[in-house]
Amino acid sequence: MRDKIPSHKGILQNNPMPNHIPFVTVIMPVFNGQKTVISAIESIQKQTLIAWQLLILDDASSDNSYMLCKEKANEDPRISVFRNEQNLGLSRSMNQLVSLSEGAFLAVQEQDDRSAPDRLEKEVCILDSKPEVGIVSGIAAWVDQHDQLLAHFPGILARGEQYPQQFDEMVRFLYEEQCKVVNAACMIRRSVLDQIPGPFDPNARMSIDWQFFLNAAHFTRIWGIPEVLVYMRRDQDHQHLSGNKELQFKEARRCIRLVYEKYRNDPSSPINRDLFRKAMSTEMVLESKYYGRLRGLGLLAKAFTYGPFTPRVYRLAAWYGNRFLQKIVMRK
């Protein structure tokens, strides 16, 4: 089900702004998000940048998400709401939204997050002033249901550092260290999306942003704003809804292999067999930490096989050793 999208020209007429500022389309896929979707929408309505277009696609929710979004759209002509008749999944929904968008810049808003009021304005300023940058993101503040701060992500920006600005270094960083770009806070230049047809892998069930950023990092720069641009819920309810670790780990391994197969014979890409093994070692370490005990030790052995000289493998081995010694001492 598709509503008519209001023209961005009409939106700009109602919300005048300097001619040189590109128009922004915000996309938001929604699935069973009735508890948080209004807060997410209102965080865009409260932006200091007022000339934007918000496209919402409800992916056949079984709750009241679609009607809540429609009510907000009836109040604000900058909002358009669409609905899939059957559930197509996140990747396909994202691709649909990209195809519907009009803006020179495209921002992602997730249904259970809140954007900081000046997020869009700060991201537009970066893309407008740095033509070599194709993607900009920032820091996510992980909060609980009471808005109490739990952590900041990613660490590289929280420490006041910047993403590597050389293409090969950024690809290595993203591939080995896994995705350190906050998808829920990113803004993407239209020209970047034009170079990756169907930018989000329709076969991916998770890690779709990681795969996209890895592809994009091969030809454009990614800039990080060292400020909180989005507030992301990470309480028990959220973990219950999205904490499928088995699937997350499976999809991460899939992404590592898929990207390796795509670029292994590309002389312009830094992704090779050695980097593939390092990336898999990192993934095995993450899985080992999560499972612990015998399963975790088995995964640690796999991590060692993939990356026998990787420092994080030895740090995790030392952690297991300390836990083992502590248990022996407690038994005495």
Contact of 137 with 153, CB cutoff 8 Å: no
CA distances from 114 to 29, 37, 143, 238, 265 (A): 14, 9, 11, 14, 41
Domain end, chosen from 222, 241, 260, is at: 241
Asked whether residue 182 is domain-assigned, the answer is: yes
pLDDT of residue 241: 43
Residues 134 and 164 grouped into a single domain? yes
Query: Is the N-terminal amide bond of 154 cis, ω within 30° of 0?
Result: yes
Q: Which of 206, 208, 205 is nearest to 216 (CA)?
A: 208
| 227 and 123 Cβ atoms separated by less than 8 Å | no
Of 61-75, 155-169, 174-188, 241-255, which range is least confident?
A: 241-255
The highest-confidence range among 20-24, 49-53, 148-152, 222-226, by mean pLDDT, is: 222-226
Kindly give, in sequence order, each residue whose CB lies less than 8 Å from that of residue 146, ignoring residues fewer than 6 positions away: none
How high is the pLDDT of residue 145? 84
Mean pLDDT over each residue of the chain, to the nearest integer: 89
pLDDT of residue 6: 54
pLDDT greater than 80 at residue 201: yes
Residue 2 lies in a domain: no
Is residue 86 pLDDT above 80, yes or no?
Answer: yes
In angstroms and rounded to an integer, the radius of gyration of the C-alpha atoms of the chain is 21
Domain with 233 in it: what CATH number?
3.90.550.10
Mean pLDDT score, 43-66: 96
Q: Where are the alpha helices (DSSP H) in the chain?
A: 8-14, 37-45, 65-75, 90-100, 119-129, 155-158, 167-177, 190-194, 208-216, 236-242, 245-263, 273-291, 293-306, 311-331
- pLDDT for the residue 160: 93
Q: Clarify whether residues 115 and 194 are in a common domain.
A: yes
Buried b (16+ CB within 10 A) or exposed e, 118-136: ebbebbbebbeeeeebbbb
Q: Are residues 220 and 306 in the same domain?
A: no
* Position 272 pLDDT exceeds 50: yes
In a domain, 260, yes or no: yes
Mean pLDDT of 173-196: 94
Residue 5 has pLDDT above 80, yes or no: no
Which of 205, 226, 241 represents a domain boundary (last residue)? 241
% of the chain exceeding 70 in pLDDT:
89
pTM value?
A: 0.88
- The domain tally of the chain equals 2
Give the whole-angstrom CA distance, residue 178 versus residue 188: 19
48 shares its domain with 135: yes
What is the extent of the structural domain holding 154? 8-241
- Residue 7 pLDDT class (50, 70, 90 cuts): low
29 within some domain: yes
Give mean pLDDT, residues 143-163.
Answer: 93
User: Can you tell me the mean pLDDT for 281-294?
Assistant: 93
Same domain, 250 and 188: no
Among the ranges given (42-51, 113-122, 226-235), the one the predictor scored with the smallest mean pLDDT? 226-235
Indicate whether 296 and 325 sit together in one domain.
yes
The residue among 15 and 172 whose pLDDT is bigger is 172
Co-location of 255 and 278 in the same domain: yes
For residue 318, pLDDT beyond 50:
yes
Identify whether 1 is part of a domain: no
Closest by CA position to 104, among listed 19, 221, 21:
21
CA 225, distance to chain mean position in Å, is 15
CA distance 270 to 275: 8
Highest mean pLDDT among 65-79, 204-218, 296-310: 65-79
Q: Is a pLDDT exceeding 90 seen at residue 20? A: no
Q: Which of 241, 259, 293 finishes a domain?
A: 241
Residue 147 is predicted with a pLDDT of 85
**What would the pLDDT profile of 224-241 be if each residue is shown by its tens digit?**
999 999 999 876 555 444
